[in-house]
Amino acid sequence: MCVSLVRSSASSEGSVTLRSCAVTRPSAPSVSAMRALFPALTEGTEVYLDSAATTQKPLPVIEAVQQYHGSRTANAGRGTYPWATALTERIAGIRAHTARFVGAAHPDEIVFTGGATAALNAVALSWGLANLAEGDEILYSPTDHASNVHPWLYLRTLLGRFGRRITLVPYRVDGLGEADTADILAKVTPRTRLITASHLHHVFGGLSTLEELRGKLDPEVLLCFDCSQSGGHLPVDVTELRADFAVFAAHKMFGAPGTGVLYCHRRVHDRLDPFLPGGNSGVVVADSDLIPSDMPGLLEGGTQNIPGILALGAALDVLDEFGLAEIARHNRDLTLALIEGLRPIPGLEFLPGPGYASCATGYGIVSFTLDGISATDLGFVLGEFGFLVRTGAQCLPHRPHEPGIDAVRVSTHIYNTSDEIDRFVACVSTIAQEVQ
């Protein structure tokens, strides 16, 4: 039910007066039962539409963290007493589960990290420092998340300090928000060593598999995929992607912050140096030198984020229960409904992405701007009425003193409903009428 509301928000383009943007709860029993698994969704009336930033946490994940801290806390891989050995076995099981979940052929291809950012930095420093030579090239998209741009910029700077100059070659993103594979192919040279891409773009919502490049690249060119947005939102198979590296953020797939996954294909294992040498870091000492040992310990120095890994295991169980194909279908349906509802609104413009697709596609991410109000102010006003969305630069890299992208991003998950999308669209429409 809509009730009459009037609120104002200071805007760089004037004040905004709003009506009829009330938020109510969905009533379908099946939806209620599913949403009851996520305590944060039952505490208030807000509509959470920011799952690309982080997902809500289901009860099994919360309980996994609480249980570790409250019962038989120990360190994994360090002791021979039952608490420690049982924990070591659990983590080994979660590693194997993670490998199956992402389509890896072997559990030793799965590295637990401090997050997707840490995983991408591990690739840059563990592989890049050890293997890149003068004149080598990396192809990347400047419009990707900063975590898939800044590590390569830092790697170039670091190598330059030691007299090795590498080149970062930017490639374009097309109107669908996908990597422009024709542009990539045109920029590949005999010095290309790695191509890195967002599997699902965090702002545009475009899916890039690079499948158009298959059979056209030197097999020695490595492929790196940032799967932070696709992991837990749609089926991901790193073997099908032909990835050499792929990274995942646990907190964006129902897990806890501070935990990530780095997939490293076995063919690159002998090209990796330790990322965090120290205790339990997969190295041995010979004649005072560090000799790399086995994966994945080679890249897992120090005490692991044990509660985070246990939370990841619980999150994978929940995702398996829901089914990734069903989650993907649900997000596609919500995306299409969102685009259909927003498209007629005067002054609304979609960023590159599924809003320009010629077929029914969408992966739960839609970004747009609205004439007459900045995205930041629009996000504030939407938040006042209980619609929680992301605004601002959204971790897109940009140079100082240059304007970055300022857009509203809506991102959904299995716990969102079509009713929420309808009410969100109605609220944006009301705002558009007021600011035009």
Classify residue 211 as left (phi > 0), alpha (psi -120 to 50) or beta: alpha
Q: Which residue has the tokens 């919500």?
A: 334
Contacts of 256 (CB under 8 A, 6+ apart): 57, 61, 65, 250, 307, 308, 311, 312
DSSP string for residues in 151-167: HHHHHHHHHHHTT---E
Contact 283, 274 (CB under 8 A): yes
Supply the residues annotated as catalytic. 395
Residues β-bridged to residue 78:
none
Measure the CA–CA gap between 246 and 353, rounded to whole angstroms: 22
Q: CA-CA distances (angstroms) from residue 91 to 94, 191, 260, 310, 313?
A: 5, 39, 14, 7, 8
Burial class of residue 240 (count of CB atoms within 10 Å of its CB; 0-12, 13-18, 19+) = exposed
Nearest partner of 47 among 338, 332, 385, 330, judged by Cα: 385
Determine how β-strand 47-48 pairs with β-strand 387-388: parallel
Torsion angles phi and psi, residue 384, rounded to 5: -60, -30
Measure the CA–CA gap between 41 and 25, rounded to whole angstroms: 10
Contacts of 193 (CB under 8 A, 6+ apart): 131, 132, 136, 137, 138, 220, 221, 222
Determine how β-strand 348-350 pairs with β-strand 365-370: antiparallel
Measure the CA–CA gap between 353 and 365, rounded to whole angstroms: 8
